[in-house]
Structure formats: structure tokens, C-alpha cells
């Protein structure tokens, strides 16, 4: 898979992600479905920042696991603005990778010892995109638990008016 294909997917999925994030009830940002869960605001912020964070992660070919902060967003406007900036930064970074750079081996280390070695493209696919989709799905569950209508993602949701009575 080439960078252009990943960028096209990222851009398309960003629109879907925005629709889900737009449904986040601002008055419930500190709500958690379980004590060990992220708050709604933490999860929404994580989803918004993931594209940029992962693009930065793959910029270097050898990396230690990142320390991933989990700040809680203060508003839906902040979440959406963060998403827009994050996607734009990811597109810029991905656009800078040639086909050869996408095929280069990316290594995750712990204490200087390799624990994962995969092509950079594989990291972008699994950790950036699939990880992003996973958390977006998690957010739809949060919305359902809060009785917020879930938008269509890959087809109508049970709340989508197109389903009929």
C-alpha cells in the first residue's frame, strides 16, 4: 500500500470520525462507563489526536514505546479542532514518505532491545488506522450507553432515520 492510498483512507475515515465526535455530549465529558475506563472526554481527545500522534511515532525508524498522555477534552469544539489539526498533520507527514520509506523496517524497542519490527506501512495500517477505528467503535458504545443517537459509520445505525419504523 502506498502513502497516497493511506491518505485517501485517512481522509475518508476522518469525515466518519468527525460525525461520531460531533455527537459527544459536552456535559458528559467526565463520564466513565466503568472505573477503569477512560472518561468520555479522554477517549474523544485520544481519537482526535491519534492520526498526528501515530504519524509522529513512525517518523523515526527506531522508537521506544511512547508515553501516551490521556488529557480530558474541555469541549466538543476543542475535540473537533484537535481532530482537524491532527488529520492535517498526519496527511502532511504521510505525504512526505516515498514508497521506499513506507517499506522501510520500523522498530519498536524497550530498553534498547527490539520488540517489534515491521514495515513502516504496517505500523501505519495497524496502529494508526486500525487502532483509530477501534477507539471510534468504543466511542459509539459510550454514546449508546449515554442514550445518544449513534451516527451511521459503515452503514445505517439503529438510530439512523433511513431504517424506517
67: CATH? 1.20.120.450
**Each residue's pLDDT expressed in tens, for the chain with a length of 165 residues:** 688 888 999 999 999 999 999 999 999 999 999 999 999 999 999 999 999 998 888 889 999 888 888 999 999 999 999 999 999 999 999 999 999 999 999 999 999 999 999 999 999 988 889 999 999 999 999 999 999 999 999 988 888 766 555
Structure confidence at residue 57 (pLDDT): 87
Beta strands, E only, the chain: 62-63, 105-110, 113-119
Domain total in the chain: 1
**Angstrom distance (rounded) from CA 29 to CA 23:** 12
Handedness of CA 14, 19, 20, 23 (dihedral sign): positive
Looking at residue 126, what is its pLDDT?
86
Q: How many helices and strands (H and E) does the chain possess?
A: 6, 3
Where in the sequence is the domain holding 153, given as residue range(s)?
Answer: 3-163
Amino acid at each position: 500500500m502506498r502513502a497516497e492510498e493511506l491518505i485517501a483512507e485517512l481522509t475518508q475515515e476522518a469525515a466518519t470520525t468527525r460525525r461520531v465526535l460531533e455527537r459527544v455530549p459536552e456535559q458528559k465529558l467526565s463520564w466513565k462507563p466503568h472505573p477503569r475506563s477512560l472518561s468520555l472526554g479522554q477517549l474523544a481527545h485520544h481519537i482526535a489526536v491519534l492520526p498526528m500522534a501515530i504519524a509522529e511515532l513512525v517518523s523515526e525508524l527506531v522508537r521506544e514505546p511512547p508515553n501516551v498522555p490521556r488529557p480530558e477534552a474541555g469541549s466538543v469544539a476543542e475535540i473537533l479542532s484537535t481532530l482537524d489539526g491532527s488529520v492535517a498533520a498526519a496527511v502532511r507527514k504521510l505525504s512526505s514518505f516515498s514508497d521506499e520509506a513506507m517499506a522501510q523496517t520500523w522498530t519498536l524497542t524497550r530498553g534498547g532491545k527490539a520488540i517489534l519490527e515491521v514495515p513502516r506501512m504496517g505500523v501505519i495500517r495497524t496502529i494508526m488506522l486500525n487502532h483509530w477505528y477501534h477507539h471510534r467503535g468504543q466511542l459509539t458504545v459510550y454514546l449508546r450507553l449515554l442514550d445518544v443517537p449513534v451516527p451511521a459509520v459503515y452503514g445505517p445505525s439503529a438510530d439512523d432515520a433511513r431504517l424506517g419504523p
